[in-house]
A and B are shown apart, each in its own frame.
Chain A
Amino acid sequence: MLLRASAEANEEEIGIEGVMDDSKESQVPDGMLLGEFAEAVVRRDPDLAAVRERMVEAMGPEAMVDAAAVVANFQRMVRIADGIGIPIDESWRGFSADLREDLGVAEFASSANTPG
């Protein structure tokens, strides 16, 4: 949701389907590489070191560290949501519903724990 909001705020075009499908272009600069890096960390991919190296070469070490920190942050946030069964925030319900529909996240098992 914040991806779409940030793109709108900064007048950028994005392909939201790139969030769910790594074969689709998000149109975010270096988006494929960033997605590949996130996946390598989350999936414990043995190629993580190689992906990391490509990120450092393409985007610089600061960007790699920043990306690692964001992945780490959201590895945490999803576990809070799943572990405490929190509902969707009232203020998000309306304008996030169509996005959830587009992304197909209702099929996730965790949707049963998150009224919204």
Chain B
Amino acid sequence: MKHFTYTDSAIPIRDDLQAANRRQWERLAHPGSWWDGVDRVAIAREIRAAEDCAFCAERKQALSAASIEGAHDCDSELPETVVEVVHKLVTDNARLSKAWFDDIVPSQLSDAAYAEIVGIVVNTFSVDELQRGMGVAVEPLPQPVKGEPSQRRPLGAKDHGSWLPTVAAEDLDSQDADLYGGAAAANVIAAMSLVPGEVRGLLDLGDAYYMPMGAMNTFEQVRSLTRSQVELVAARTSALNECFY
């Protein structure tokens, strides 16, 4: 099946968005570092299930999320903990806490397996959000590609103050030397570097959705929106999500 053709769209959609979305679907379908293609696509299904999950809705309305007991409305056979991580990231991200994380990592999920879940969720959710924003139906998920996860953990991962170890530019090994484009990486870019493939996905989508990394500090206009318009939308979206970072 050819994905993201936009043949029914009444509005013109940039070719680079189409191409970036297709690459994300390729990455999603293939085995990652810690999850195989079947699991990765199942995680993506849970992103969509979270939108209609009654337990998530009830918990989001509660003053204390921990005070609500129940079970998620699932669309997969994934372990309950994985479903919890996916649904919480999608529906109640502003109230994630270190205590919640510590209950899960490392006792129920390894730090790297958790990092990959975050990567799958944020990159896939972003594609779905683009479709919703543009008024286009969300794309059918890809067919999983057979194969085993690489189980490769970057040797340079260290504690840099995040909940997860991350890899600084100077600690990248030869396989990932180009990961940050030869520059130092902001914490939000390095956040998922326990799983370099998810950082590659992040940057690939970011180039098309936001702007190429090289344009970040030039403040030149690279889209039909002015740079201030782009940054206003970015800031407003972050504020609506109550994002301190």
Contacts and interface: CB of A to CB of B under 8 A. Distances in A.
**Do A and B make up one complex?**
yes
Interface of A: 2-3, 5-7, 9-10, 12, 14, 18-20, 22, 26, 28-31, 34-35, 37-39, 41-43, 48-49, 52, 56, 59-89, 100, 103, 105-106, 108-116
A70 B210 contact: yes
Contacts of B163: 84-85, 113
Contact of A69 (B12, B130, B135, B160): B130
Interface stretch (B27-35, B69-77, B146-154, B222-230): B222-230
B27 to A, nearest CB: 14
A87 B225 contact: no
Contacts of B135: 48-49, 52
Contacts of A48: 132-133, 135
Interface string B99-120: 0010000000000000100100
B227 A6 contact: yes
Nearest to A8: B219
Contact of A68 (B93, B130, B162, B231): B130
- Interface range for B: 35 or more
A10 B225 CA distance: 14
A19 B232 contact: yes
Given A6-B228, A41-B129, A83 B238 contact: no
Nearest to B162: A86
Given A66-B223, A76-B122, A89 B186 contact: yes
Nearest to B115: A84
Contact of B232 (A18, A77, A106, A109): A18
B223 to A, nearest CB: 4
Interface string B190-212: 01100000000010011011100
Contacts of A56: 11
Interface string B125-166: 111011011110000000000000000000000001111100
A76 B229 contact: no
Interface in B166-223: 186-188, 191-192, 202, 205-206, 208-210, 216, 219, 223
Nearest to A22: B236
Given A69-B17, A73-B126, A108-B242, A63 B225 contact: yes
A64 B11 contact: yes
B243 A110 contact: yes
* 8 interchain residue pairs of minimum CB distance: A68-B133, A81-B245, A9-B219, A3-B231, A85-B163, A78-B243, A72-B130, A76-B126
